Amino acid sequence: MPTLDLGQDIHYIDQGSGEALLLFADNLHATGAYEAEIAHFSDRFRVVSFDYPGAGQSTRDIRYQDEREYDLWNYRADLACHLLLALQIEQCFVLGSGFGAWAALHFAGKQARLHQLTARGVVADSFLTAMDSRALHRALDKREHYYIRRVPWLERQHGEDWRAVVDADTAFLRRLADHGGYALPDGVAQAITAPVLLTGNLQDDVLPGLAADYARLAQRIPDCSVHLASRSGHRYGDQHPLLWTAPEIFRAQADAFLGRLA
């Protein structure tokens, strides 16, 4: 992966050709976790993604902590804009899953416009628009089980210090939960002029009330469609996120949505 100095050393991937597709990773992960998705979408798009500061192969020296602490997902959307500008990309489609979906929506609703960039369409997978303190703490309580089952995978993404990386992310989100949680501002949602596809799984126990939450969000985004799977069919029964637990379903929906816009 090449590196750019965007005020901090950021590793990124730039694969494929054609119109650009910007991919935001979920909080716990680096771009390396999305090799299958990047391979799939780079058959048709120029896929761009990056490792967040403090994770993956990017610098562990995190700058602009005030911005990061104030609004993590807006901060990541802003960083993505600087990456696109450095790569001379003026417009793109956007894809994010889990916490990455929040960054994708911030990018399309606010940051792209501030940097004279154009978001052409957004796929936002498996997230809630609001997580209060209790819901966020309960989601984080399950992370230790996730670590245990996926140690080699996390080490490939982040390196030998993978445990420090994911523990630091958990601690950051705990602080966010202690301050009351997080909600996607209505102003961000209502400012998204690009078409949006929301995807998820009705059986996803990490995201209680997903259908009702998506229905509320779809009323706020001017051009929004929703696809909710009834189950994933995953061999271990996992339901989160749809992007990984039911990749065929997710890719069929994303391909059809992006195909209409590209």
- What's the pLDDT score for residue 114? 95
Least confident of 3-7, 18-22, 43-47, 80-84: 3-7
Count of alpha carbons within 13 Å of 243, Cβ hemisphere only?
A: 28
Two tokens at 211? 């259908």
**How does residue 232 score in pLDDT terms, banded at 50, 70 and 90?**
low
The predicted model scores a pTM of 0.94
**How does residue 66 score in pLDDT terms, banded at 50, 70 and 90?**
low
**How does residue 235 score in pLDDT terms, banded at 50, 70 and 90?**
low
Residues 6 or more apart whose Cβ sits within 8 Å of residue 210: 128, 200, 201, 202, 204, 228
> Across the chain, what does the average pLDDT equal?
91
Q: Which domains does the chain have, with CATH numbers?
A: 3-129+186-261 (3.40.50.1820)
Tokens 């890719």 belong to 251
- What's the pLDDT score for residue 64? 66
- Using CA atoms, how far residue 227 sits from 30, 96, 255, 262, in Å, is 26, 15, 13, 20
pLDDT score of 68 more than 80: no
- What's the pLDDT score for residue 135? 86
Span 83-127, pLDDT tens digits: 999 999 999 999 999 999 999 999 999 999 999 999 999 999 999
The whole-number average pLDDT for the span 65-71 is 70
- What's the pLDDT score for residue 249? 93
CA 252 to chain centre: 19
Span 210-227, pLDDT tens digits: 999 999 999 999 999 999
